[in-house]
């Protein structure tokens, strides 16, 4: 039998003295609990610190990777841009993919409209390499009645080019920028043309004019003009940033019709987020090119007056590519008068189909 330890029960003073040497069990339990809680809090804080450190490390790694990717993309864009501006080939791979994947067109004509015949348009694309589209954005309330009407017309004729752009007179510079960036992404052409919808255009004559400049890499052509900067808020074409220009604008193409070569359209596409927009879109376009190695070509056949001006020139064998009234910045009362302008100044339909570009 195992020995049994017998603890005598003490009473009186002796018992009190013995018990006073030890803390009571509740005190021991509370002290132990405080210790565990303190240790647990410390461990939890250490765990949080570790997680925070890991999150910070992961965030830094992600940021580094993002920056590296952006630097790579920026470097590639700069290389591509420099190639275009220097007139040198980008790379054999780029040229091969471009030539094999996309058909080459002579020109893309964007008719700037604010809210045809499909067979003839398709024939122009296939036989003459000429793309024609009516360029329009969307209303401030996207999907409204006006937008639905344009969408229905586009489904019927298929000759609209819809832009991610809110229509508005003071937003024409943004629309021009978006048009060129979108067009150069959709079609590989030698030239990209912008024309207002109240201008009469002879397409064959325009094509013949532009085809003479195909070998030139950075062409900006139109009717070049200059004039006083309008600082009076009460007049049309008021320029809020007039102080930047001095008394007169630099030379730039009038906004009714102008054309730029592919390299310049690509330049706009690559730099669209940093190109400043002035109120007048023709001034904006000229400003984007003013510091570049660009060939400005002034061609007065791109801005003839309406009859009798364009009529006399047509009779003399010098057919105009574009005609409009300067006083109206287009053909006055376009709907009523444009057919009359065409009857007197228009080239024959045969001229278009027999033209060689």
238 pLDDT tier (thresholds 50, 70, 90): confident
- Residue 55: pLDDT over 60: yes
% residues pLDDT > 90 (the chain):
42
- Residue 17: pLDDT over 90: no
Average predicted confidence (pLDDT) for the chain = 78
Residue 75 to residues 72, 79, 97, 229, 269, Cα–Cα distance (Å): 5, 6, 20, 38, 16
- Residue 68: pLDDT over 60: no
- Residue 84: pLDDT over 70: no
255 pLDDT tier (thresholds 50, 70, 90): very high
| Size of the chain, expressed as the number of residues it contains | 357
Q: What is the DSSP string of 307-333?
A: TTHHHHHHHTT---SEE-BGGGTB-TT
- Over residues 106-152, the pLDDT tens digits come to 898 888 776 545 666 677 777 778 888 888 877 777 777 777 887 88
Confidence (pLDDT) at 90:
34
Q: What is the DSSP string of 186-235?
A: H-EEEEEEEEETTSEE-HHHHHHHHHTTTT-SSEEEEEEE--B----TTS
Please name each of the domains of the chain with its CATH number.
Answer: 102-354 (3.90.550)
Q: What integer is the mean pLDDT of 248-257? A: 95
- Residue 161: pLDDT over 50: yes
pTM of the model as a whole = 0.69
Q: What is the DSSP string of 32-56?
A: HHHHHHHHHHHHHHHHHHHHHHHHH
Q: What integer is the mean pLDDT of 16-40? A: 50
Handedness of CA 304, 308, 310, 313 (dihedral sign): negative
306 pLDDT tier (thresholds 50, 70, 90): very high
Q: 162: which residues sit within 8 A by CB, 6+ positions away? A: 136, 137, 138, 150, 154
Q: What integer is the mean pLDDT of 166-175? A: 79
Residues 16 and 10: their CA atoms lie apart, in Å, by 9
């Amino acid at each position: 039998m195992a020995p049994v330890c017998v603890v005598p029960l003490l009473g009186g003073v002796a018992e009190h003295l013995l018990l006073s040497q030890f803390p009571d069990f509740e005190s021991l339990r509370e002290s132990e609990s405080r210790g565990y809680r303190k240790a647990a809090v410390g461990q939890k804080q250490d765990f949080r610190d570790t997680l925070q450190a890991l999150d910070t490390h992961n965030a830094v790694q992600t940021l580094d990777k993002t920056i590296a990717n952006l630097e790579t993309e920026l470097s590639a864009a700069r290389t591509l841009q420099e190639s275009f501006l220097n007139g040198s080939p980008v790379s054999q791979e780029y040229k091969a993919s471009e030539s094999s994947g996309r058909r080459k067109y002579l020109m893309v004509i964007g008719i700037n409209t604010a809210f045809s015949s499909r067979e003839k348009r398709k024939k122009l694309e296939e036989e003459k390499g000429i793309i024609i589209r009516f360029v329009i954005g969307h209303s401030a309330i996207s999907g409204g009645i006006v937008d639905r009407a344009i969408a229905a017309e586009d489904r019927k004729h298929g000759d609209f080019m819809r832009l991610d752009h809110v229509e508005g007179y003071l937003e024409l510079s943004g629309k021009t920028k978006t048009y060129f960036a979108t067009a150069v992404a959709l079609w590989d052409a030698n030239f990209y043309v912008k024309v207002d919808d109240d201008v009469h255009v002879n397409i064959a004559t325009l094509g013949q004019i532009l085809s003479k400049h195909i070998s030139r890499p950075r062409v900006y052509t139109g009717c070049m003009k200059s004039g006083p900067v309008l600082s009076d808020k009460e007049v049309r074409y008021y320029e809020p940033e007039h102080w930047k220009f001095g008394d007169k604008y630099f030379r730039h193409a009038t906004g009714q019709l102008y054309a730029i070569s592919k390299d310049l359209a690509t330049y706009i596409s690559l730099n669209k987020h940093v190109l400043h927009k002035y109120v007048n879109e023709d001034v904006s376009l000229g400003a984007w090119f003013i510091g570049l190695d660009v060939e400005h070509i002034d061609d007065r056949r791109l801005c003839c007056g309406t009859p009798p001006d364009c009529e006399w020139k047509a009779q003399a064998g010098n057919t105009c590519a574009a005609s409009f009234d300067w006083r109206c910045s287009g053909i006055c009362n376009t709907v009523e008068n444009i057919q009359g302008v065409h009857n007197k100044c228009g080239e024959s339909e045969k001229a278009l189909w027999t033209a060689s570009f």
